[in-house]
Amino acid sequence: MKIVKIVFLLIATISIGSQVYFTENGILTDVVAEFIKNSKSFLYISSYSLNEEKIVEVIKQVYNSGIDIKILLETPSPLLGDSVKMDYEKSLHHAKFIVNETGVLFGSANFTKSGLETGFNDVIFFENYVEQFRKLFLSLWNKGEVVGCQPFLVVGYDNVEEKILDFISHARKRIYVVVYAFTNKQIFTLLKYKESRGLDVRIITDSWFINSNLNEIPNRNLKIIFKPMLHHKFMIIDNMVILGSANFTLNGLNKNFEMIYITDDFLEEYLKIFEYLWRFESGNNNFKD
């Protein structure tokens, strides 16, 4: 009973005004640009990188209207001027979100051509959670401190790796992993164990995996996408989806500034993307049909 209660508390309730977008279905640049244009009083952006030309131009237009714009990045973006703060910590500033008074955009995509157009990524619009993201962003901007952002989990505030391992350990039917970088031995070992217990366990990852320490371990249900870049970071466990900015690495789940979201909504949408990628032609054939 205790386990059931914990799982229930971690699964987020989605508002009616939410929508998920995938680059597999089309370019996301206009989705992000329109969201930015709708900013009336403030616009806060967190990303690893931001250099897509249309997005930069729209930010400049909004900036000229006089609203409060703040941008936190890991990599430089000289075109954006004084509204940008760089992250100079040893750990990566890797969470990707935009918040204004109309809602939140959150997902795996950097605001670059690769993130919004040519790579495989997902972005979700939430009509709610504005205040949580605003509080988190301003804490980072003003103090350099990570705070909670319920119902999201934040690396550096929540024990994200432990939560993911717990969900995997209680899986009963299936575990589908779609992630850019995968080096976490604990997760990989637990997935192998769950597969040995009869669960449907499948992994889709980017060609980056060739450099992973896990690549030497035989896995019959692993597919590598060679082109374009597979940049998703989601996992389907039974009827739940875990998604966000975190790769399944030691730093991604324990050290970087990352965020994940656990939900029982959007299941069908993420399942469709998984099946599409599982059959995608630009990859290896190291998987069971």
Return all residues near 28 (Cβ < 8 A) that are at least 6 apart: 21, 109, 116, 117, 121, 123
What is the pLDDT, as a whole number, of residue 9?
Answer: 41
Q: Are strands 153-154 and 200-206 parallel, antiparallel or unpaired?
A: unpaired
- Residues 160-278: name the CATH superfamily: Endonuclease Chain A (3.30.870.10)
Q: Where are the domains of the chain?
A: 14-154, 160-278
Matching fold, domains 14-154 and 160-278:
yes
Name the band, by pLDDT with cuts 50, 70 and 90, for residue 2.
very low
Residues in the chain: 289
Model confidence pLDDT, tens digit, residues 202-260:
999 999 888 787 876 766 789 999 999 999 999 999 999 999 999 999 999 999 999 99
- Residues 14-154: name the CATH superfamily: Endonuclease Chain A (3.30.870.10)
Model confidence pLDDT, tens digit, residues 82-112:
677 766 556 789 999 999 999 999 999 999 9
Q: Prior bond to 151 cis, omega within 30?
A: yes
Three-class SS state of 59:
helix
